Structure 1
Amino acid sequence: MSRTPTVHDAVIIGAGFGGMGAAIALRRLGHDDLVILEREDDLGGTWHVNRYPGLAVDIPSATYSYSFEPNPYWSRLYAPGAELKKYCDHVATKYDLRRHMRFGVTVESARWDEEARHWAVTTRDGEVVLGRYLLTATGFLSQPKMPEIPGIETFEGTVMHTTKWDDSVDLTGRRAAVIGTGATAVQLIPEIAPRLAELTVFQRTAIWVTPKSDGPVPKAIQRLYARVPLTQRVARGVGSTALEGLMVLGVLHYRRFKAFNRMAERWATRHMERQVKDPKTRRKLTPDYSFGCKRPTFSNTYYPTFNQPHVHLETTPIAHVEPDAIVTEDGTRHEIDTLLLATGFNLWDVNFPAIEVIGREGRNLGKWWRENRFQAYEGVAVPKFPNYFSLNSPYSYSGLSYFTTIESQMKHMTRLLTAMEKRGATEFEVTEEANARFLARMRHNLEDSVFALGSCATARSYYYNQHGEATLLRPTSTLGALREASRFPISDYALT
């Protein structure tokens, strides 16, 4: 006698902060039969995978958490990675999420079953998991990018990507190279330099680095936050306002606030000039693109590292790698025994989406995005994909804190699913008209941004997709995104 397969309330792909936030929202609405599929061996997403030296949140800790679950016990203004992982575990335990999670499960595809009216999710092992709703929370920074350098596979020394850091490797006395100077490298390089005999940093694109107002959070302040939560909410508000000014005014409203953007550039430039002694090195470290074209970062220790005699900054492009050296295009051999790859993540080639997603009428989401522009209504929904929330989508990232994005999406889900419950509907699908209106508005808003009006050609920013469009960030204010998540017209969806 055959057994009827279980159709869960929802299948969530990814057990990072996005997936956990989605699960919390669904459980609040009474959907308790959830399956959260995670390819890694534990929860936490990027805060589980990344363990490299110097790992820390790159915005103030008070803003990098769920607003409904503040953590009064951050040890520093910019919390180290281990504390973020601990916070992940705390949230999962408090909201009883672990019982929904299955680890070590790699999802390969998801397909809408038109006849059965549910999603069928297929894993690498061939298992099929069914769900009424599908939510992809695979993150923006989940697919490591390996550099395409001739001969790199012939290198005979130690090779580590920052997402696969091996703590058992002792770097003491080694001659190492770091490829990449993005936000990860800015954290990594000052931590490892003192242990190395020689370090060569290969920079393709300089990064804007501003001062970091970091320091330990006194125990008295932690106790105050715990006893009077309002005080921490105030701190969160101040931090969020500062980030809003940096991102929204200087970057997204560049046309009107170009002076603000120029002030940020001067701030970062003076920070570097105070910390780097050699004029030639300062010129190399100065970006040749507008502030905000590429995500900036904060550090007080990155620039001084290049004052050390055993640290070298190399800006000549790499020609190829040999078994014991990196050779630049001018023929110089940089002999090394350790190769550290801080080359970031591949957003647009193997992400968006990170798995194959097939909707109504056989529409392939990845193919459709690439042929018809990257787009998603309110950053969560796509026409022809019923009962589907794409949580890492074009135009979804709001502000500089990922939690702004997560919580706006939670609000959106809550409003939509509550309306469905009231109307007795079992399916939702955003209309083509609503999606087109939202896309047109986002594209219009971007015309005021630094991405359209600034000098971004040399930034090589992951904000840009294959078509040269900056479709990752939502070009509205954070408050605007949260407000729209609670007020969008329900008529923008077809409910059946």
Structure 2
Amino acid sequence: MTDHDVIIVGAGFGGMGAAISLKRLGYGAATRSIAILEREDDLGGTWHVNHYPGLAVDIASVTYSYSFEPNPWWEHWFARGHELKRYAEHVADTYDLRRHMEFGVRVEGARWDEDERHWVVSTSAGTRTATYLMTATGFLSQPRLPDIEGVHDFAGTVIHTAQWDDSADLTGKTVAVIGTGATAVQLIPQIARQAAAMTVYQRTPIWVTPKADFRIPRAVQYLFAAQPWTQRLARRLNSTWLETLMVTGVLHYKQARLFNQGAAALAKAHLRRQVADPELRRKLTPDYSFGCKRPTFSNDYYPTFTRPHVTLETTPIRNITSTGVVTGDGRETEADVLVLATGFNLWDTNFPAFEVIGRDGRNLGKLWREQGYHAYEGVTVAGFPNFVTLNSPYSYSGLSYFMTIEVQMRHLERLFGELQQRGAHTFEISERADQEFLAHMLERMDDTVFVQGSCATARSYYYTNEGDAVLLRPTSSAHARRAVEAFPLDDYVYA
């Protein structure tokens, strides 16, 4: 007898999506049937952990949400962080998920017990057992500190964007910002409005395209609520545009190079319109192909660098002292506040986020790092029975995370439906199917910008420490939707 039928690790949108699928199949009637274990003190994942100034989704709200649970009351076309947090709470309440959630519980490891045919999960609150284990740990929550000498010696205020101090007042302060990724694009204009002086240290410029952002009129909200088809239409149109601009030219670079070049031209034109100084434009222009690193949208990022109290520094950082930042040419710029917009640690602390030991002592992290990252349809791995990894290689479909979540939800519904129909209790993807899917992904990857483009200088989190781009599924969103309806259920072994 296990403590739970299913343990889901993570109470973000991925974990909640998995729980919704299980409840559709009849799991969760008893509260302890499903346990959603979350290390933070509340639900929401990324949208709970992150709350820095300017936080917003960079995918339109009508697309960045569950298609089966539309929200007609979005305040902005690009929802702000607090709106996403509120939406997460709404989903949890609507689908009765809170009673399954336990907060402040950190999962430290999991081991498959072959004799008992269940998972033994070690947590900060003790050991649990479950027939099925699902990880929905995300990857945009574990902050990455820069590998810079002296970073711990700075005597002023240090804030990482993923651990933002809401009480910090930057008004009139001299601020040094390290990093110019997607988070920094949102944050830097906000800091510039408060700081007396700001220096931004850029290692790699980012592609930025115009952001068609606006507050959604109340009349439109009422229209979405009264006529849901209008919101579905808005979602479809926006998703199609994103797929064309951001996905086709990246994942089908070989066949659609013109789309990629068109997106880069759009970003360059955006930069020219907003920055007159040719030298500043040069510094802000990436030298890698569009899409090698996640691009983003903003209307106020580029103009921020034209303000007299803002400096863009592209000379590499040598070290940090107690009073400021020293660049490679020996210049020190003093600062009161050091803001680390250095992103998240993906490949050292995730994939997996904790030790997972499967059949015959197989270590998932070691397997991925030594034999290549892979997961059948971005969901399961041979040698790991009754295990689903929702944060996995080749899982991310399209540009919206919700596209990925819903494809994975459908995979779970088909798989667990088959399990129930057979009266079985154990599933495991066959080694043959696992390897055939990996071969298919590697073949499709040959068409992408990651292989065909110029990505050497991108320093992108899309790449593992071993240099492989395994995060994105190299197919269209439509292909992913078709595949999840068509994968052979006999690819799994049931018992």
TM-score (normalised: structure 1): 0.98
Question: Corresponding residue for 2:226?
Answer: 227
User: Matched residue of 2:281: which SS?
Assistant: helix
Question: Corresponding residue for 1:347?
Answer: 346
Q: State the alpha-carbon separation in 2 of the partners of residues 410 and 341 from structure 1.
A: 35
Deviation at 1:247, TM superposition (A): 3.1
> Is the aligned partner of 1:142 residue 2:141?
yes
Once superposed, which parts of structure 1, at least 4 consecutive aligned residues long, lie more than 4 Å away? none
> Is the aligned partner of 1:368 residue 2:364?
no
> Is the aligned partner of 1:162 residue 2:161?
yes
Question: Corresponding residue for 2:107?
Answer: 107
Q: State the alpha-carbon separation in 2 of the partners of residues 466 and 375 from structure 1.
A: 15
Question: Corresponding residue for 1:118?
Answer: 118
User: Matched residue of 1:458: which SS?
Assistant: coil
Residue deviations 1:295-346 (CA, integer Å, cap 9, x gap): 0000000000001000000000000000001000001111001000110011
TM-score (normalised: structure 2): 0.98
**CA contact 2:177–2:339 (8 Å) conserved in 1:** yes
Question: Corresponding residue for 1:88?
Answer: 88
Question: Corresponding residue for 2:47?
Answer: 47
Equivalent residues in 2 for 1:356-435, closer than 5 Å: 356-435=355-434
Question: Corresponding residue for 1:98?
Answer: 98
Equivalent residues in 2 for 1:16-31, closer than 5 Å: 16-31=12-27
Moved more, 6-15 or 180-189: 6-15
Deviation at 1:293, TM superposition (A): 0.3
Deviation at 1:277, TM superposition (A): 2.3
Residue deviations 1:329-388 (CA, integer Å, cap 9, x gap): 001111001000110011111110001000000001000000000000000000010001
Deviation at 1:76, TM superposition (A): 0.9
**CA contact 2:143–2:162 (8 Å) conserved in 1:** yes
Q: State the alpha-carbon separation in 1 of the partners of residues 79 and 416 from structure 2.
A: 35
Residue deviations 1:455-481 (CA, integer Å, cap 9, x gap): 000000000112211100000111111
**CA contact 2:158–2:337 (8 Å) conserved in 1:** yes
Q: State the alpha-carbon separation in 2 of the partners of residues 251 and 134 from structure 1.
A: 33
> Is the aligned partner of 1:315 residue 2:311?
no
Write the letter of the residue equivalent to 1:12.
Answer: I
**CA contact 2:2–2:131 (8 Å) conserved in 1:** no
State the Cα RMSD in Å.
0.8
User: Matched residue of 2:70: which SS?
Assistant: coil
Q: State the alpha-carbon separation in 2 of the partners of residues 22 and 249 from structure 1.
A: 28
Question: Corresponding residue for 1:10?
Answer: 6
Residue deviations 1:223-261 (CA, integer Å, cap 9, x gap): 000001000000000111111112331001111111111
Write the letter of the residue equivalent to 1:80.
Answer: R
Q: State the alpha-carbon separation in 2 of the partners of residues 331 and 446 from structure 1.
A: 43
Q: State the alpha-carbon separation in 2 of the partners of residues 485 and 282 from structure 1.
A: 44
Q: State the alpha-carbon separation in 1 of the partners of residues 171 and 444 from structure 2.
A: 50
Amino-acid identity (%): 63
Q: State the alpha-carbon separation in 1 of the partners of residues 185 and 302 from structure 2.
A: 9
Write the letter of the residue equivalent to 1:489.
Answer: P
Question: Corresponding residue for 2:248?
Answer: 249
Q: State the alpha-carbon separation in 2 of the partners of residues 372 and 327 from structure 1.
A: 41
Deviation at 1:142, TM superposition (A): 2.5
Question: Corresponding residue for 1:61?
Answer: 61
For structure 1, the 5+ residue unaligned runs are none
Write the letter of the residue equivalent to 1:65.
Answer: S
Question: Corresponding residue for 2:187?
Answer: 188
User: Matched residue of 2:315: which SS?
Assistant: coil
Deviation at 1:6, TM superposition (A): 4.1
Write the letter of the residue equivalent to 2:81.
Answer: G
Q: State the alpha-carbon separation in 2 of the partners of residues 310 and 430 from structure 1.
A: 57
Q: State the alpha-carbon separation in 1 of the partners of residues 291 and 168 from structure 2.
A: 35
**CA contact 2:142–2:162 (8 Å) conserved in 1:** no
Write the letter of the residue equivalent to 2:460.
Answer: S
Deviation at 1:10, TM superposition (A): 0.1
Deviation at 1:273, TM superposition (A): 0.8
Question: Corresponding residue for 2:174?
Answer: 175
For structure 2, the 5+ residue unaligned runs are none
Write the letter of the residue equivalent to 1:121.
Answer: V
Q: State the alpha-carbon separation in 2 of the partners of residues 486 and 448 from structure 1.
A: 24
Q: State the alpha-carbon separation in 2 of the partners of residues 434 and 177 from structure 1.
A: 50
User: Matched residue of 1:150: which SS?
Assistant: coil
Q: State the alpha-carbon separation in 2 of the partners of residues 286 and 51 from structure 1.
A: 28
Residue deviations 1:181-206 (CA, integer Å, cap 9, x gap): 00000000011101100000000000
Q: State the alpha-carbon separation in 2 of the partners of residues 335 and 280 from structure 1.
A: 24
Question: Corresponding residue for 2:76?
Answer: 76
**CA contact 2:246–2:263 (8 Å) conserved in 1:** no
Write the letter of the residue equivalent to 1:404.
Answer: M
Q: State the alpha-carbon separation in 2 of the partners of residues 24 and 150 from structure 1.
A: 46
Equivalent residues in 2 for 1:279-290, closer than 5 Å: 279-290=278-289
User: Matched residue of 2:15: which SS?
Assistant: helix
Write the letter of the residue equivalent to 2:46.
Answer: T
User: Matched residue of 1:195: which SS?
Assistant: coil
User: Matched residue of 2:193: which SS?
Assistant: helix
Moved more, 485-494 or 5-14: 5-14
User: Matched residue of 2:62: which SS?
Assistant: helix
Residue deviations 1:131-159 (CA, integer Å, cap 9, x gap): 11100000022321110110111100000
Write the letter of the residue equivalent to 1:268.
Answer: A
Deviation at 1:401, TM superposition (A): 0.3
